[in-house]
Amino acid sequence: MSDSTRSRSGGKRRRTGHREQSFLPDLPDPDPDDLPRDEDLYDNLGHILDRAGLAALPKPEPLIEGVLDLRTTVVMPGDTGTNKTFALIGWACSIATGRPWLGHAVCLPPTPVILVVGEGAYGLDGRIAAGEEANDVAVPLDRFFTLVQPASINPKGFWTGFWPELESFAESKGARFVALDTFSSLAPDADETTDAAMLVRRMSALAGSLDGTVVLAHHVGWGEKDRSRGGSQLESDPDAVIVLRKADPDDPDTAVSLTRKKVKDGPSGATLWVRRTPVGASCVLEEIDPPPGKVGGQRRGAALGHRHLVDLVARWVAEHEPTTKQQIYEAVAAENGVGDKRVRAAFAELERERLIKSKRASVRDDQGVKTRDVWVPGDARWRPAASSEGQRTDTGRPDRTRPRSGPRSGVRKGR
């Protein structure tokens, strides 16, 4: 350790025993008014929150039940003809009037909305009127605002140009929902790869300022039709991603799926199917059952929570003949309209908790009879996460009270 230090004034001090001798005279303490304030010292650190500050933040809550959440940024990619604008207008009209969207409740009192479009607006009034007719409601004139072909939303300036003006306008109207249609038409000078992260950051700042939700409609690429064109940040950075996809790419009137591909603070994977139906001089979307050969749809339980799905897998194993792991994956996924990945996670938890177990058995398939691992209820007793009345139990965890050497106990078969 050095035998010298620096004084507050910058002068060099030499240690002499337990005392310090300065080579420079001591300077007076600075005036407190001349010292930088904390907010000046940490001007670039954003909002500094302690544990109490985090607890005071608003909790996640739905905007349109099962479709959109409040205080989030959403990117909605879809190919041409997948009803991106119809969906945005439908959401906006429901939020402005408080009426459900395709049966999905709006969880806010009626509030102003803003639709920002980069293309022409000539057909928009007809689409709004069709929604009014279909739902027997009038959208108040002071709750639906349309901004047509504004200056580029390219966020390179971040705090200049379009974005601060949009924020100011939205706050003046009390809007809590802003829809941007679409990235390419609203920012023709932007690079969809290098500007993606900054665009989502600007959307997030706007959502926070409005205590609301900002949705960006975007296009998919030439290859995969289930991901956004451009930078990966268009899906990794927003709070949610809703993918629109045609059931039959070659049929212009085909059904379209809306899948919640990503939900930051809730279960993802929920899918609903829609189709355009004529109303008045335009069309509206209506929810339909999944087309033949397709799975998904909230009506079939695609929005199941993880604990509920674990229950379903356990019950399936208990109520069916022993079969292979892959056959269980496929059967539970098909019956409940959920992705194979989620079923695998539920199955792995059951296996980890010894609530299911494998045994060797003869299994017949297309190639004859083979000896394979099949799955049966395990030695631990399963206690479902929800009772028959739909209420959660105290823990929803396995009951270890029965010795493992005792008789097998799993989910009871149907009464």
Average pLDDT over residues 167-174: 96
- Check pLDDT > 60 for residue 251: yes
Q: CATH: 3.40.50.300, 3.30.1330.60, 3.40.50.150, 3.10.20.30. Which one for 64-300?
A: 3.40.50.300
Give dist(CA 143, CA 110) in Å, integer.
8
Average pLDDT over residues 168-182: 97
pLDDT of residue 179: 98
Q: What CATH number is given for 304-415 in this structure?
A: 1.10.10
Q: 379-410, pLDDT tens digit by residue?
A: 766 555 543 333 333 334 444 333 333 333 33
Return mean pLDDT, the chain.
81
Delimit the domains of the chain by residue range: 4-56, 64-300, 304-415
pLDDT of residue 39: 57
* DSSP structure string for 145-182: EEEES-S---GGGSSSTHHHHHHHHHHHHT--EEEEE-
Q: How confident is the model at residue 3 (pLDDT cuts 50, 70, 90)?
A: very low
pLDDT of residue 9: 42
Average pLDDT over residues 329-335: 83
Q: Which of 219-228, 287-296, 306-315 has the lowest mean pLDDT?
A: 287-296
Q: How confident is the model at residue 102 (pLDDT cuts 50, 70, 90)?
A: very high
pLDDT of residue 330: 84
User: Among 196, 186, 198, 176, which residue's Cα sits nearest to residue 72?
Assistant: 176
- Check pLDDT > 70 for residue 345: yes
| CA dihedral for 103, 106, 112, 117, sign (positive or negative) | negative
Q: Phi and psi at residue 322, in whole multiples of 5°?
A: -55, 135
pLDDT of residue 386: 43
Contact 241, 235 (CB under 8 A): yes
Contact 338, 304 (CB under 8 A): yes
Q: Matching CATH topology for 64-300 and 304-415?
A: no
Q: How confident is the model at residue 296 (pLDDT cuts 50, 70, 90)?
A: low
Mapped onto helix, strand or coil, the DSSP state of residue 381 is: strand
Q: 188-216, pLDDT tens digit by residue?
A: 999 999 999 999 999 999 999 999 999 99
Average pLDDT over residues 279-297: 82
First to last CA, the chain: 79
Average pLDDT over residues 237-254: 91
Average pLDDT over residues 351-365: 83
- Check pLDDT > 50 for residue 15: no
Average pLDDT over residues 235-245: 95
pLDDT of residue 118: 93
Contacts of 178 (CB under 8 A, 6+ apart): 113, 114, 116, 166, 170, 206, 210, 212, 213, 214, 215
pTM: 0.64
| CA dihedral for 326, 332, 334, 335, sign (positive or negative) | positive
Mapped onto helix, strand or coil, the DSSP state of residue 14 is: strand
Q: How confident is the model at residue 353 (pLDDT cuts 50, 70, 90)?
A: confident
